[in-house]
């Protein structure tokens, strides 16, 4: 059964009954499976299934007002759920104006400027759907944008990120960071560029413990400032390194970060099934010769591959890498493609990845049969990796900086790669303190600060 509404003014048969509506939202069709709704005048109608609309109910009959948790399961809904009555643009207390009836549904279009639908469902439930809500779920892309998963971001090379720094777009002071505006600036910078800086932190309090090496024996005392920076965004992600950790050269290191050697570009903890989303590094001391920090945008490098060789890019999306950590009584292992795409990505055009996985120091032997056996797909993968590293390691595409003491860098661990040049451990102390946040905590804060929660 298909019911069609062709315009703002409708006439029903010989009765000559008519009604006009000033509402922008227009109900165009009612089918057995759902509704077709024109969200803007002249736009292509969007089809919303009965199942989706009934399942999306958010009134107090469906959602506990205190906990925001649902009272029902999607599986409980009747197979033939459908609207019994639809009110288009009804004001509270306004009398019904029955305009149309189909076999199963009565449609009431009211002469108001209210953009929304009130639906009385076949199971007796009633729900009001605003035009704003319907637009948010008009497409997978619209839904992702609402959650800041598809908002425009800034891909960068050295020129762009240097300009952002010079314009003070990706940094703030510790004092400013204590305000909502300052924190929002940092969170937005992380979303847009994947990189942000907080400067002017207080001196980190320290204490001395028994140790043969007096530098190693000096440890941080509460409050741990890098954790304080992180907690303003979300909860600390504890790992086998603890809630936070020290990065400085130590005897018999379990990680190359704890040496004075050159540290190649990488991301942290990719051998975890859920690697950290945000990494923070607080510079407590930086007196050694050398030890410059390097940051690059892996998303920009991924786009470079896509532009040069789409087939090689596709291989990087499909063939998994192996990451592992086998040391110090630990054995972690994860296999995941280097480029992770968003669901429902249009593969015919460039779309920013969801995440990148790149950490050569922690890469293990390949598990992927395409790489074990070789062949055409293996060669495409190798070409894609070559192009990725060609762009990644170009000096024109990196930000290189000798970070000041009492500053803190924050970066998206699955987008921005970080590295460090070799330093002379005998020339002075280089001491950084780090911690992690989950990406979920970051997006939660971003949505709240953007008034989209």
Give me the phi and psi of 23, to 5 degrees please: -65, 140
Pull the structure tokens for residue 9: 């003014």
Instruction: Give dist(CA 282, CA 265) in Å, integer.
Output: 19
Task: Strands of 131-248 (E only): list them.
Answer: 171-173, 195-199, 206-208, 218-220, 244-247
Mean pLDDT, range 14-24, rounded to an integer: 37
39 near 134, Cβ under 8 Å? yes
Instruction: Give dist(CA 285, CA 3) in Å, integer.
Output: 72
Instruction: Give dist(CA 219, CA 210) in Å, integer.
Output: 10
**Res 5: pLDDT:** 34
**Res 143: pLDDT:** 79
Which range is least confidently modeled, 49-53, 57-61, 154-158, 201-205? 57-61
Which range is least confidently modeled, 21-35, 52-66, 217-231? 21-35
- Domains observed in the chain: 3-138 (3.30.2020.30), 147-453 (3.60.130.10)
Mean pLDDT, range 313-328, rounded to an integer: 96
Top pLDDT among 417 and 373 is at 417
Sign of CA dihedral 146, 350, 411, 277: positive
Instruction: Give dist(CA 385, CA 366) in Å, integer.
Output: 14
Top pLDDT among 21 and 252 is at 252
Question: Tens digit of pLDDT for each residue in 56-115?
Answer: 998 888 888 888 899 999 999 999 999 999 988 765 556 665 555 666 677 876 655 667
Residues with Cβ within 8 Å of residue 57, at least 6 apart in sequence: 63, 125, 127
417 near 296, Cβ under 8 Å? yes
Question: Tens digit of pLDDT for each residue in 156-202?
Answer: 999 999 999 999 999 999 999 999 999 999 999 999 999 999 999 99
Task: Grade residue 11 by pLDDT with cuts at 50, 70 and 90.
Answer: very low
- Across the beta sheet with 263-266, the strand order is 263-266, 416-420, 293-297, 398-401
The secondary structure of residue 218, as a DSSP letter, is E
**Res 244: pLDDT:** 97
**Res 248: pLDDT:** 82
Top pLDDT among 378 and 146 is at 378
Question: Tens digit of pLDDT for each residue in 235-290?
Answer: 999 999 999 999 886 555 555 666 788 999 999 999 999 999 999 999 999 999 99
**Res 41: pLDDT:** 85
Pull the structure tokens for residue 439: 């990406």
Respond yes or no on whether the N-terminal peptide bond of residue 223 is cis (omega within 30° of 0): yes
Mean pLDDT, range 291-319, rounded to an integer: 97
DSSP 300-349: HHHHHHHHH-HHHHHHHHHSEEEEEEEETTEEEEEEEESEEPPTT--TTS
Which range is least confidently modeled, 10-19, 82-91, 238-247, 400-409? 10-19
Q: Is 226 exposed, middle or buried, given 0-12, 13-18 or 19+ CB atoms closer than 10 A?
A: buried
**Res 60: pLDDT:** 81
Mean pLDDT, range 198-222, rounded to an integer: 80
Pull the structure tokens for residue 353: 């990845």
């Amino acid at each position: 059964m298909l019911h069609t509404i062709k315009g703002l003014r409708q006439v029903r048969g010989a009765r000559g009954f008519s009604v006009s509506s000033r509402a922008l939202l227009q109900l165009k069709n009612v089918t057995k499976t759902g509704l077709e709704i024109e969200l803007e005048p002249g736009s292509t109608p969007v089809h919303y299934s009965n199942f989706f609309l009934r399942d999306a109910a958010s009134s107090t009959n469906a959602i506990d007002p205190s906990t925001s948790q649902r009272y029902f399961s999607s599986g409980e809904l009747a197979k033939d759920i459908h609207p019994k009555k639809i009110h288009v643009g009804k004001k509270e207390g306004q009398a019904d104006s029955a305009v149309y009836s189909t076999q199963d549904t009565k449609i009431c279009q009211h002469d108001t400027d209210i953009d929304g639908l009130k639906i009385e469902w076949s199971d007796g439930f009633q729900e009001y759907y605003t035009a704003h809500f319907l637009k948010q779920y008009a497409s997978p892309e619209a839904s992702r944008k609402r959650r800041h998963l598809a908002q425009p971001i800034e891909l960068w090379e050295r020129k762009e990120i240097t300009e952002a720094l010079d314009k003070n777009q990706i940094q703030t002071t510790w004092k400013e960071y204590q305000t909502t505006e300052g924190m929002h600036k940092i969170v937005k910078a992380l979303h847009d560029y994947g990189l942000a800086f907080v400067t002017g932190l207080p001196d980190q309090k320290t204490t001395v413990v028994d140790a043969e090496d007096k530098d190693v024996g000096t440890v941080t005392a509460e409050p741990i400032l890098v954790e304080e920076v992180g907690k303003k965004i979300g909860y600390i992600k504890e790992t086998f390194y603890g809630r936070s950790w020290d990065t400085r050269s130590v005897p018999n290191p379990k990680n190359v970060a704890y040496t004075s050697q050159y540290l190649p570009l990488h991301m942290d903890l990719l051998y975890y099934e859920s690697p950290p989303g945000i990494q923070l590094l607080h510079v407590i001391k930086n007196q050694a010769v050398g030890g410059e920090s390097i940051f690059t945008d892996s998303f920009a490098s991924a786009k470079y591959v896509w532009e040069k060789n789409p087939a090689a890019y596709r291989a990087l999306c499909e063939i998994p890498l192996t990451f592992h950590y086998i040391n110090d009584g630990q054995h972690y292992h994860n296999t995941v493609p280097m480029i992770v795409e968003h669901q429902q990505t249009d593969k015919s055009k460039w779309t920013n990845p969801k995440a990148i996985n790149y950490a050569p120091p922690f890469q293990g032997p390949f598990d992927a049969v395409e790489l074990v056996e070789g062949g055409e797909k293996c060669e495409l993968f190798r070409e894609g990796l070559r192009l990725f590293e060609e762009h990644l390691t170009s000096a024109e595409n990196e930000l290189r900086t000798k970070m000041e003491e009492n500053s803190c860098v924050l970066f998206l661990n699955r987008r921005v790669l970080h590295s460090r040049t070799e330093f002379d451990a005998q020339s002075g102390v280089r001491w950084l303190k780090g911690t992690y946040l989950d990406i979920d905590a970051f997006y939660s804060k971003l949505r709240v600060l953007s008034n989209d929660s």
